[in-house]
Amino acid sequence: MSYVARVNSVRRVPLYRSSFALMLTTALNGVLGFAYWVLAARLYPAKAVGLGAGAISAMMLVSSLGWIGLQFVLLRFVPVAGGVQTRLVRITYVAAIAIGLAGAGVFLAGFADLAGLEILTQSPLTVLLFAASVVLWVVFSLQDAVLIGLRRAGWVPIENATFGVVKALLLVLLAASASAWAIFGAWVLGLIGLVLVINGALFGRLLTRERGVPSRLPARRQLIRFATGHHFVAVAAAIPDSLVSLLVLAFLPGAANAYYYAAWAVSFSLRLLAVNMSNALTVEGALAEAKVRPLVLQVGRLALVVVIPLVVVVIVTAGPIMRAFGPQYEQAANLLRLFALALIPFTIVNFVIAVERIRQRVGRALLIAGSSTLVTIALDLWLIPRAGLSGAGVGWLAGQTLGALIAIWLTLQGDPSTASVKARRWRDSVRRIRRRKSALLD
């Protein structure tokens, strides 16, 4: 088979097609996100970058309370929702926005000042702006999950590339103010047009609304259990992404958070490779539950080809990568190396949790995510004041490694539902043998 024929055969596999589109998204987000923070580091004072990064981190943290788990309702059930797709998406949006706004209220009332982000509570206007940013980020995040669930993953890199270019342009245009609000505002203002355009297309023509299209949604009680359970799983897994930045802001000088956030932004772009591959796995597994094992093998082979070489490259070139932000940012090079090494266990964790979502199980996924996060935060609270930025990297690596070990152990234990079926069959066989013995004795 020729090279072109092999490429075409790979592209015809839906899992690979979605994965490649989302990997392109990751690459674009990585390059454009890198450019955004390099521009911020070059055009703004380090203190303004630290505060702006802290405000964005806070916005992403409270927003994630709303969308980070409910996106998996869309990924898992939009492919099989049939004629109730539109209703499912609408209800998910409303629930996510409500949770995100509640989280914003709690954060602004009790934690913003503690995290050194008094700029968010300066006036009713700043509070309103922060709340509006939460709503925008919730919808922006969920619309990608809808597109992926509809097998329209090709739209996602276009949307994210547009966002990356627009926010970078706004960052340059607002640079004269040299303020943290300019960094935060450039990020948020870039969302408005994309949210309107994408959701106009979704609700206008992409989502299915025909009553005659059959739905394969589970019972309402089971759907609520899935949504609630996997929302807790996703929130637990995502807490370190935003909380650790706030810990750095609280424990270390303001400029240190600029260095931390630059390394985090690079590593987060790398981690999106694993996240997006697991999202594609969730969608294809939802459409073909009987083929989950072959799908896992497919995505696992793809991960081996992509993740391992990437980790090696980042570890070797961490110094030059961080110097691109400015000479003082090189002090976060070891932090970036630790983040890169953690990409390997992070990928394992994401694939195993994706399988748990396909099977509509919660307990094992919560054990993996919860254990990883608890170890990460506990170590960070101890290490950041003592070891500085590298302490945050050690905490993250240790947490992901523990999560991967638990995930591997659970996988080796086998499918609990299969084990229960086998146990029930064994008990039934024992009962039949006993009845036959009793009949012979009688």
Q: Where are the domains of the chain?
A: 14-441
Residue 156 near residue 21, CB atoms below 8 Å: yes
Token look-up 């992901």 returns 400
> Can you say whether residue 179 is alpha, beta or left, with left for phi > 0 and alpha for psi between -120 and 50 degrees?
beta
pLDDT value of position 286 = 86
Q: What's the rounded Cα separation, in Å, for the pair 113 and 107?
A: 9
Q: pLDDT, tens digit, for every residue of 379-394? A: 999 999 999 899 999 9
DSSP letter at 328 equals G
Among 352, 82, 98, 92, residue whose Cα is nearest residue 218: 82
Structure tokens at 210: 């025909």
Token pair belonging to 405: 């070990």
Q: Which two tokens stand for residue 50?
A: 């630290």
Q: According to the model, what pLDDT value does residue 11 have? A: 52
User: What residues contact residue 439 under an 8 Å CB cut-off, 6+ apart?
Assistant: none
Instruction: Report the C-alpha dihedral over residues 118, 263, 25, 205, rounded to 10 degrees.
Output: -10
**How far lies 130's CA from each of 27, 163, 429, in Å?**
28, 19, 63
User: Which pLDDT score, from 0 to 100, does residue 141 have?
Assistant: 92
DSSP calls for 85-124 = HHHHHHHHHHHHHHHHHHHHHHHHHHTTTTTT-GGGGSSH
Cα separations (Å) of 68 from 95, 143, 408? 12, 12, 24
Residues with pLDDT less than 50, the chain = 1-9, 419, 421-422
Burial class (CB in 10 A: 0-12, 13-18, 19+), 442: exposed
Q: Which residues contact 296 (CB under 8 A, 6 or more apart)?
A: 281, 351, 355
Q: Are 118 and 112 in contact (CB under 8 A)?
A: yes
Gyration radius of the chain's alpha carbons: 23
Long-range contacts, stretch 406-410, CB < 8 angstroms, 24+ apart: 406/367, 406/368, 406/371, 406/372, 407/348, 407/349, 407/352, 407/353, 407/368, 408/348, 408/352, 410/352, 410/364, 410/367, 410/368
